[in-house]
Amino acid sequence: MIRWIRQQLGFDPPLQSPTRTIYVSNHFPQFGHFVLQKFPDNRIISSKYTVWNFVPKNLFEQFRRIANFYFLVIFLVQLMIDTPTSPFTSGLPLFFVITVTAIKQGYEDWLRHKADNEVNNTPVYVIRSGRLVQTRSQNIRVGDIVKIEKDQTFPTDLVLLSTDRADGTCYVTTASLDGETNLKTHRAVPEIAKLQTVFQLDKLRAVITCHGPEPDLYRFVGRITIKSTQGEIVRPLGAENLLLKGASLKNTSQVFGVAVYTGMDAKIALNYKSKSQKRSSVEKSMNTFLIIFLEILVIEAVISTILKYSWCHESPYNERTIQEKNSSRILTAISDFLAFMVLYNYIIPISLYVTVEMQKFLGSFFIVWDLDLYHEDSGQRAQVNTSDLNEELGQVEYVLTDKTGTLTENEMKFRECSINGLKYKYINGSLVPEGVTGELSRDAFTDEEVMFLKAISLCHTVHISDLEETHRPKLRHAVADLSKVQYYAASPDEKALVEAARRIGVAFAGSDEKNVILNTFGKTERYKLLDVLEFDADRRRMSVIVETPEGKMVMFTKGAESSIIPLARTGAIAIMNAHVDELAMKGLRTLCIACKFLSKQEYQEIEAQLLAARTSLQQREQVVAEAFNFIEKDLHLLGITGIEDKLQDKVPETIEALKLSGIKVWVLTGDKQETAISVCLSSGHFHKNMNILELTNQKSDLECAEQLRRLNIRIKQDHVVQHGLVVDGISLAHALRGHEELFMEICKDCSAVLCCRMAPLQKAKVVRLLKTLPAKPITLAIGDGANDVSMILEANIGIGIMGKEGRQAVRNSDYAIARFCFLTKLMFVHGHFYYIRISHLVQYFFYKNVCFITPQFLYQFFCKFSQQDEKECHAEKVLFPTILEYNETLYDGAYLTLYNICFTSLPILMYSLFEQDVHPRILRSKPALYKEISKNEVLSLKRFLYWTLLGFCHAFIFFFGAYLLRGGEDASMMGNAQMFGNWAFGFLVFTIMFITVTLKLGVETHYWTWINHFVMWGSIIFYFVFSLIYGAALWPFLQLQSMYAVFSHLLSSASVWLGIIVIVITCLFPDVLRKVFWRHTRPTLAQRSQFLETNAGITCMESLCCYSGGETGCSPFRRVLDQIMGRCNSLRVNSTDLSVHPREKRTLSIPHVQEGFSDNGAIVHLAEILE
């Protein structure tokens, strides 16, 4: 019962069997025993909540936050014991925060429900009771036969039964799943492919046995048992037989498939499950600061409790009631302690989390809207998958990048090759031997060269698309006009090779399940396709077995040189092995081509072995891989191809900028070592004068350890020289077994690191190794392919490149961009701004709450911790005898409630969205500015303590300034014949405090917009308007109205206004003076860079009243202050300075130039501005 309830609330998923048995068309056996398995319906549920579990689940998630849980406890304490403040003062802010968050999350979930309903109610056709009936997608059951027509989307995961083609093939695009726009071929089991009518399919009796649901889109293991009068026929089922939900049918009129995974069991639904939560360093710091403030709160409550009992024998405390005499001292002390906890609880900023969430959510739109991150050629803009890590973009210390498709274009062009030991260049569609000018004629090709070109045209997964191929029912002839042919391939390498072979003269003209047609120099040749040994990342090769028109059986194999050359026994192996290194040094991607002739007996043995492996349900992948490895041996090496993948634009400049900012760049790639080194040299990752160290080809742990020690000694001896490290995957595996510390020490001493021949999991291990260093550096992983997903998920920040290797990296990333060069804008500008903004937001929140609650603590010393003395009570009763009751707090409850919610919320939110301390152009051009804020410098404990102490200092000035204005011990006259009572004193303190903390934010603001002005001055106006209305009448819905007429009487006094102005200036002037002093004597790099801004230069006093453009309102005062401080004329570029003649040269003096800035750089920027 408990498990059922938890499942209904969404906490426990239902248990599932590791395998499932599916009866096609739900024809269950009439005789014999079988276990009927239960499967979910076809409803897609991407929502998080239901009507039943929204309230408990949402409340549970929100109260997991320490601040929310703390205020809940405080609220409950206020309900249970007699506390100085009303429960509403804690309950209303908590209710507001919880309600706003719940509404936001509920609305987002409602949108998910709406999208789910659109998908679940899509009309589909299924075969039931011998008829084709229309139903909704959500009503599809496992075992139903579903009909899909051209251009429709598959409503669930289906095993293909038949198509309108006799060979049972269909074409599918999975662009919505992985972004690949090429057409993929899927095949039906031959024995069922001939069943193309509803009547025939309804009579089908078959059972599918397959593994349970799993998220891997490219893996499906199963078998189908077909029952007929002749007996049972068993056939294997693989990924080529599975049609995925979300994919679309193309170039095929209709298909029939049986549902195997429905609803949330579908592979696309399993891939939508949330990833592990990543937390930013700012969030961790925020939790640390919250604990510190909790400690301060407890200390204040303990001090107050002790002092109360230390003064309890003084009048009027010596007279206790009977109830007090009979109560336990321990319980009374605990009650008093909790009461003080409630009184001071506002030191914890409850609205901090809501403000931070809104800042992150709204701020993420600036990344999406940034036109500098928009790629015009592809029409793609930046994408934000999570806004929780915006500020982390400004704290990156390590960038780990893929090579192919990330640093390079992933647009492959065939450039060179080696055939039988002779090198050729591909020029204008012809193969030209090295050292020969002119083109080869068709008759000049040798048998080895023709065999090499045929291998390229036969061994691939390329699909052809043209009008003739689409409409012809059977492959009886080649495509008439090859110029109309368009090739589609999952791998850009294969497409480049097949297109190059077509231009040379050996063209791939079409294929079906059993035949492949080549047009060889104008002659049509038909090859019977016997078998395909699919590519996988472990073997790093693929093979096809064909029967030539002459009746010979040949296996063509293509793959990486490391997986082909060791298996080769004949051919010019030594020469072509050297050619591999030569091509790789030119930066070309290399592939080896080989072949093997088979006898009929050998092929029969291979066929039987493959059938047994493919029908195995236990460890099928391992068994199939062993069969492939057994078959692919004793090869004849035909040749080697060299494919160029050129660098993306501005890659060298981007890598150089990252290094100048103090970020270490690592390149992790699966390519060959020589190819990777060549790309690193051309991209600027390695420099020509850099000492390249190699940790490669290590055979054992001991050998690797010895090499590591030699490298470490060499680095120590050549400490002046820059070093670059090259590591291959095998050596890395040895280095990570017991030698991690030495390996990382060497890596930290190297300026650049290249890891080649890396498997996807090895990339993730490298990222994890960096993350677990004692310094806990922030890592950023960037890649574009499915092999980069593991390191993207492992890194603190994962960035996907919208490239040509699918969208899996984009789907699993935190951010997605179209080009590698966009990284500088994303990190140097957006990362800088987000980190500065949220750091100041967090510090300011704690500062203003210290200012808010410290006067409450100081007030207790004057009422001997009973919250009010008799003189003040009597003074207030004389002034307002009809409404005053015994008060127990300095502030009125309305002000306690609205301080964080209304009065001070909008200015800091707008500041955190629009603040720009340095112009974006300068941030991009001066990478050293990024280094200045690294290692969480702005939100360090030192700066946090400064803000906290500043809050305490300001609070003392508020309180004692108002106390002196009040007249000390006696409630003096305010100059308008009114007495200065308790509520007037509290209101005065609150008014001074509110104005000061609001203007303090203005002092910290560098970039003013009309929005900042509106919310800041509007908040002050709103405060006074609210106070006037709140105290202007006796509101019937308020039981206690202590503030009646306080505002009008208090602020009608000129001395009060003068006192407010003096106290506010007293608080802010030392802070402004400190900024002036440090800016003049020890300016930071950011402050010096402000002299280069295209708008008005921001100086020490302008932050109070400067505008976003043009001359500022404080410029005259600023110039006077500059003269007093003896400052050199600061560089200012505004409308008045642009009157200089374009040809006139101006000498500009920029004080305090330091590292990261150069006079030449300044002149270049100013020249751009002045032009």
Backbone angles phi, psi at 1123, to 5 degrees: -65, -40
* Residues 153-168 as b or e (16 or more Cβ within 10 Å = b): ebbbbbbbbbbebebb
Instruction: Note whether 268 and 155 are within 8 A (CB).
Output: no
**Cα 1106 versus chain centre, distance:** 36
Which DSSP string do the residues of 318-369 spell out, in sequence order? T---HHHHHS-HHHHHHHHHHHHHHHHGGGS-TTHHHHHHHHHHHHHHHHHH
Tell me the C-alpha to C-alpha distance, in Å, between residue 1057 and each of 78, 267, 1049. Answer: 36, 69, 12
Reduced to 3 states (helix: H, G, I; strand: E, B; else coil), residue 220 is coil
- Which amino acid, residue 712? N
CB 666 within 8 A of CB 685: no
Taking the C-alpha atoms of residue 237 and residue 107, their distance in angstroms, rounded to an integer, is 43
Contact 506, 454 (CB under 8 A): yes
**Cα–Cα–Cα angle for 725, 731, 735, rounded to 5 degrees:** 85
Under 8 Å between Cβ of 1100 and 1136 = no
Q: Which of 648, 928, 663, 954 is nearest to 781 (CA)?
A: 663
Burial of 593 (0-12, 13-18, 19+ CB in 10 A): buried
Question: Per-residue b/e over 197-212, b at no fewer than 16 CB within 10 Å?
Answer: ebeebbebebbbbbee
Closest CA to 680 of 403, 1043, 377: 403
Beta strand pairing call for 398-401 and 779-783:
parallel
Which residues, in sequence order, are CB contacts of 440 under 8 Å at separation 6+?
Answer: 430, 431, 432, 433
Which residues on neighbouring strands pair with residue 245, listed in sequence order? Answer: none
Residue 402 annotated to the active site: yes
Check: CB of residue 455 under 8 Å from CB of residue 593. Answer: yes
Give the DSSP H or E segment for 532: strand 523-536
CB 834 within 8 A of CB 394: yes
DSSP code, position 1098: P
Q: Which of 402, 512, 671, 784 is the catalytic position? A: 402
CA distance 441 to 379: 43
Nearest to 1067, CA basis, from 1016, 1005, 993? 993
Catalytic positions: 402
